[in-house]
A and B are shown apart, each in its own frame.
Chain A
Amino acid sequence: GEDVEQSLFLSVREGDSSVINCTYTDSSSTYLYWYKQEPGAGLQLLTYIFSNMDMKQDQRLTVLLNKKDKHLSLRIADTQTGDSAIYFCAERRGYSTLTFGKGTMLLVSP
């Protein structure tokens, strides 16, 4: 199976909170990331969390990490239509490259 798994689709209304979930399998992951990809564009790093942290908040974004369950989530408060995009969860093992999930398409309706 996939090393990093995400649900494929999430639909929310503007102003609501969005929660995108991710599970990973490698307990030796050092950093975990959330990237945003808009249509036809590259990936934009939204935030990251070190594996010894439980939570990280950055403006509207809150990342929660449950290392025991190998579960990562991204909460977007007050979701806006401009937040509509694909969100990728990724893990990094040591100082090597990233392993990505398949991405969650977030659709925000007015």
Chain B
Amino acid sequence: GAVVSQHPSRVICKSGTSVKIECRSLDFQATTMFWYRQFPKQSLMLMATSNEGSKATYEQGVEKDKFLINHASLTLSTLTVTSAHPEDSSFYICSATPIREFYGYTFGSGTRLTVV
């Protein structure tokens, strides 16, 4: 079935540095991938929709200059948290669905970001 690989699973970085998170669809192509953020004991908050070959669509309140999204191919989307601050510490999850399938979003295993 559809598998989404997300790396790294955990990362600790210093304030002011940037961190890149990768999301890959391993056995299917995805023109669209989604990036979510999850706070402790809360639901997933959609941050942005990543579109292959075009600019990402950000949800209201999400800073596009802080959370850079690149979807350079049909199997890879990256999220870069720039100039990270402790309040950016969170669990980030990506998801994708195969082209031509209208159900069954597959999620990556998530990335726990801790900014110190």
- Given known contacts A48-B103, A97-B34, A88 and B46 CB-to-CB distance under 8 angstroms: no
Is the pair A40, B102 in contact by a Cβ cutoff of 8 Å? Answer: no
Q: Are B49 and A95 in contact (CB under 8 A)?
A: no
Complex interface: chain B residues within 8 A of A33 (CB): 105
Interface positions of A (Cβ within 8 A of B): 30-31, 33, 35, 40-45, 48, 50, 88, 92, 95, 97-98, 100-103
Assess whether A102 is in contact with B43, with CB atoms less than 8 Å apart. yes
Docked pose: A43 CA to B9 CA in angstroms: 14
Contact A100 B43 (CB under 8 A): yes
Query: Top 8 closest A-B pairs, CB basis?
Result: A43-B107, A42-B109, A42-B107, A102-B43, A42-B110, A100-B43, A100-B44, A31-B103
10 contacts between A and B (CB under 8 A): A33-B105, A40-B112, A42-B93, A43-B44, A45-B104, A45-B105, A98-B34, A100-B43, A100-B44, A103-B42
**Residues of chain B lying within 8 A (CB to CB) of residue A40:** 110, 112
Interface size, B (range) = 20 to 34
Measured in the bound complex, the distance between the Cα atoms of B34 and A44 in whole Å is 15
- Enumerate chain A residues within 8 angstroms of B42, measured Cβ to Cβ: 102-103
Asked if residues A97 and B44 are in contact (CB atoms below 8 Å), the reply is no
Instruction: Name the residue on B nearest A47 (C-beta).
Output: B104
Q: How far is the CA of A88 from the CA of B93 in the complex (A)?
A: 14
